[in-house]
Amino acid sequence: MTNYEVMFIIDPTLEDAKKEAAVATVQEIIAADGEVGKVDIWGMKKLAYPIQKKNEGYYVVAEFKASTELPKELDRRLRISDAFMRHLIVNKDEK
């Protein structure tokens, strides 16, 4: 199992319940094939530049362990969903 970290920005116009559901969805995707580690919810932050005409976003960072196939599936699912504005998956084991 490889150590990964995913950071994603959720659309700030969503209701709080939908933001929590989006975080739970990511955790479920990871838990299906890997192990969810620390999940750090940063909350609302100002963006460095506007994305989809929005100046703020709801930031979440999650650490997880998984096989090499899970990040590809997670990336695909995050791209499809309208709730996520941006995401980044990083392999923490690579030097």
Q: Where are the beta strands (DSSP E) in the chain?
A: 2-10, 34-51, 54-66, 84-91
> Token digits for 82?
């309208």
Please give the model's pTM, rounded to 2 decimal places: 0.89
Per-residue pLDDT tens digits for 33-73? 899 999 999 999 999 999 999 999 999 999 999 999 999 99
pLDDT at 1 over 70: yes
> Token digits for 7?
């950071």
For residue 95, the model assigns a pLDDT of 63
Domain boundaries, the chain: 2-91
pLDDT at 12 over 80: yes
pLDDT at 94 over 80: no
2-91 falls under which CATH superfamily?
Answer: Ribosomal protein S6/Translation elongation factor EF1B (3.30.70.60)
For residue 93, the model assigns a pLDDT of 84
Query: Cα–chain-centroid distance for residue 9?
Result: 7
